[in-house]
A and B are shown apart, each in its own frame.
Chain A
Amino acid sequence: MTGKPILEIDHLRVSFRIQDQYYAAVDDVSLTVNEDEVVAIVGESGCGKSALALAVMGLHPPQKTKLEGSIIFKGTNLLSLSTSQLNKIRGKDIGMIFQDPLTALNPLMTIGRQIEESMDYHMKLSSMEKRQRTLELLKRVGIPNPEKTYHRYPHELSGGMRQRVVIAIAIACEPSLIIADEPTTALDVTIQAQIMGLLKELQQQMKTGIILITHDLGVVAEMADRVAVMYAGEIVELADVETLFHHPLHPYTRSLLHSIPSAQTRKEKLHVIQGIVPSLQKMPRTGCRFQSRISWIDESKHEPNPILREVEPGHWVRCTCYQHFYFPHDHIGDVGYGIS
C-alpha cells in the first residue's frame, strides 16, 4: 500500500502577522504523504488545517505570512521556489479541489474552456487534442453528455456537477498529488457519497496521493488511509484510519469521536468538549495545548514540552496525558462552563 513518499512536510511553521507580531497558525508540523495514499487532516475550525494546505500550495500572501521549515515535493523544496517556478508545479503535479465549486470556477468561462486552461499552461497540445482530452475528462468524472456540458457555464450546472468539473480540472494534467480542502462540505449527502466514490475511484486508477482536509469524521472514515488530527496548530495524533477510529489515544481525538451523534447516543447527552478553541493570539505556546480543556486531568500528567511520540508502529501521539485520560461523566452536558 505505501509507496515512496511524494510530499514531505518537515517542521513546518506558518505564522500570520497581526499588528507587527507573528503568530503561528501551524506550529512545527511534520507529515509525509506517500504515493497512492489518502492522508486526511481533521480538526475543528481554527486548528490550522487549511493554513497547512494553503502553505503546500504556496497560496499564502507573502507580505503577511512567514513560512519556516520545508515542504519537499519530489525532491524540491516548495518554500524555496519563486512564484513562476511554483506555477510550473501547481495545477500540473499538484492538483487542487476547493470547498465551494461555485467560487472555484470562473462564472464567465465555459466549462470546456476552464478545463483547457490548465492544459494551456502545462501541456503542449493542439486545440483538437485539448478538446478531445477535455471531453474524455468530463466523461471520466461522470458528467453525462460531455459535448453539451463543454459549452455550458458553471451556473447552468448543479452543485454536484460543478464539483465534478473542479475535479476534472484538478486531474487534467495527471497530478501526483491532489489537495482537497473540504471537497464535499458544500454538497448534499447523496451527492457527497457520489463525489467520495468518484475521488476514491480516480485515486485508485491514477495512484495519486491525496491530502484530504475536512472536519467531517464520517468522510475521513470512508476515504482516508492515514489520519492526522490537528488541534491548535499542532498534530496531536497520527495513525492509520482503523487505529484512529477503533483505538484513539489522544484526549482530543477521543472527545471529538464522542461528540458525534450516532445510533447509540439517541436520547442521551452528547459529550461536550469544555471551553473554546483558543484564538491565534491567545493560544498557549508551551505545554500541552489541550490542557485547559480537560481541566479534570491533573497538571502533573502533562508533559512540560509535549512531543509527538510513536507509541506503536505508525501510531503517533502528542503528550503523555492520554495515559491518564478518562471522561468525567458528571461534566457531560455542562453547558455553562468556560463562558466569557
Chain B
Amino acid sequence: MAFLKVNHLKVYYPVRGGFFRRIVDYVKAVDDISFELRQGETYGLVGESGCGKTTTGRTIIGLIKATAGEIVLEGTDLTKLSRRQFYPYRKDIQMIFQDPYSSLNPRKRVLDIVAEPIRNFEKLSPQEEKRKVQYFIERVGLNPESIYKYPHEFSGGQRQRIGIARALTLNPKLIIADEPVSALDVSVQAQVLNFMKEIQEEFQLTYLFISHDLGIIRHMCDRIGIMYRGRFVEEGTCEEIFRNPQHIYTKRLLSAIPNADPRQRRQQFHLREEVEREYKQSYHRYFDDDGRVYPLKKISETHSVAIP
C-alpha cells in the first residue's frame, strides 16, 4: 500500500467579476493530479514558478483546502476529515520552508521556536521540554547552549537547520520540503542537503521535495514528477526522467540547465535551439487545443508521460 496517495487532486481559485461579483472563472492552480509516495523515498516535485508545485505541498499539509480529490495518508483520506479529526494527523506531516529568514519568528528564542509544535501536541514539564529541544538542536549540529539565542544570531544554514529541528520534534512520517535550499549559498546548500539525507535514514522519513532546481532534484530524489500549469507532464524514476525524457516540456526544462562544462558550451546552445524548434513544431502533439496538458499515460512500469 502506498504511504501517501494523492488522487485527482484539484485546487481551484474562483475569479470573481461582473454583476454581484459572481464567479466568472477559475484559476486552476492544481488541476487533477495523482501520484503516490512510498515509505522512505524522496519524491521530487519540479516545475517553474506558477506551476502549482507549492500549492500541492501546502494542500497536502492542510494549509490550503482541496477543491476536489483525495489525499490518502496510510489509508485515511485527509480531505474528508473535520478540523478536529485532522488534528492528530498534523503531527505526521511537517514542513521545511524556503526562506530561513522569514520562517522563524525573530522575536522568539530558539527554545520557543522549536518547542512550539511540542507545546501544541504534548504536555511536557519545562525541563522535559528543554531536554527534548536540546536533543534536536544537538541532532541538527547546533550547540545545545544556543537555545536561548534569537534567530538573527545565526547564519542562513544554521537557521535552516533550526527549521528542520522544529519539523523533527513530533516524529513526523512525511516532511514536505518546499525549496529548502534555494535561499542558501552553494556550500551551505551542500551542508543542508547532506544533513537532510542523514536524518532521512535516521528517522525513516519520507520526503516530498519541491524545487525548481533540477540539479538538486537529481541529487536528492528517487522519483520525480514534473509539473506544468497545474498538471503533471511526466513522472518517473530519476534515471528515466534525466536519461530518457519523453515529453517536450521535460526536454525543454532539462536542456535549459546550465552545463557546468565550458567546453560543451556550443553543443549546449545547439541542443537548446533544437529542442526549442521541436517544441514549436510539435506543440500540438503534446498540448490540446486549450494548451492543456494531456492526462498521464503509462509507458513503462514506473514511467508515465502526458501524451494523447
- A272, B253: Cβ atoms closer than 8 Å: no
Interface assignment of B257: CB less than 8 Å from any CB of chain A: yes
- In the assembled complex, the Cα of A224 lies from the Cα of B265 at a distance in Å of 10
A315 within 8 A of B: no
Partner of A218, one of B161, B198, B258: B258
Instruction: Out of A159, A262, A273, A336, name the residue touching B215 (CB < 8 Å).
Output: A262
Whether A222 lies near B218 (C-beta < 8 A) is no
Interface segment out of the listed A137-145, A148-156, A166-174, A189-197: A189-197
Within 8 Å CB of A196, what residues of B? 258
Known contacts: A190-B252, A263-B218. The answer to whether A222 contacts B259 by CB under 8 A is yes
| Stretch in B100-108, B116-124, B140-148, B289-297 touching the partner | B140-148
Partner of B146, one of A44, A260, A263, A340: A340
A-binding segment of B3-11, B86-94, B181-189: B181-189
- Shortest C-beta distance, A293 to chain B (Å), equals 9
Contacts of A260 in B (CB 8 A): 186, 190, 215, 260
- A44 CA to B155 CA, complexed, in Å: 13
Q: Write out the residue numbers on chain A whose beta carbons fall within 8 Å of the beta carbon of B187.
A: 44, 255-256, 259, 272-273
Tell yes or no: B83 within 8 A of A by CB.
no
Residue pair A266, B219 in contact (C-beta under 8 Å):
yes
Within 8 A of A (CB), among B157-196: 157-158, 161, 185-191, 193-195
Residues of A with C-beta under 8 A to B161: 335
Contacting residues, chain B, for A242 (C-beta < 8 A): 262-263
Judged by a CB distance under 8 angstroms, whether A109 is at the interface is no
Count the A-B residue pairs with Cβ separation under 8 angstroms: how many? Answer: 124
Decide if A276 touches B258 in the complex (CB within 8 Å): no
CB contacts under 8 Å to B, within A267-290, are 269-273, 276-277
Please give the distance in Å from A7's CB to the nearest CB on chain B: 23
In the bound complex, residues from chain A placing their C-beta under 8 Å from that of B197 are 269
Cβ-defined partner of B256 (8 Å) among A190, A265, A336: A190
Q: List 29 A-B contacts (CB under 8 A).
A: A44-B185, A44-B188, A188-B212, A189-B212, A189-B256, A190-B253, A190-B256, A193-B272, A197-B269, A215-B185, A217-B186, A218-B257, A218-B259, A218-B260, A221-B262, A222-B265, A224-B262, A241-B262, A245-B260, A245-B261, A260-B190, A261-B218, A266-B238, A272-B187, A272-B194, A273-B187, A335-B141, A339-B141, A340-B146
Given A217-B186, A260-B260, 10 new contacts (CB under 8 A):
A189-B48, A215-B186, A218-B257, A218-B258, A221-B261, A256-B186, A265-B219, A272-B194, A339-B142, A340-B158
> A interface vs B, CB < 8 Å?
44-45, 159, 188-193, 196-197, 215-219, 221-222, 224, 241-242, 245-246, 255-256, 259-263, 265-266, 269-273, 276-277, 333, 335-337, 339-340
Taking Cβ atoms with an 8 Å cutoff, the residues of B that contact A are 48-49, 140-143, 146, 153-155, 157-158, 161, 185-191, 193-195, 197-198, 212-216, 218-220, 238, 242, 252-253, 255-263, 265, 268-269, 272
Which 3 pairs show the lowest CB-CB distances between chains A and B?
Answer: A218-B258, A261-B219, A336-B141
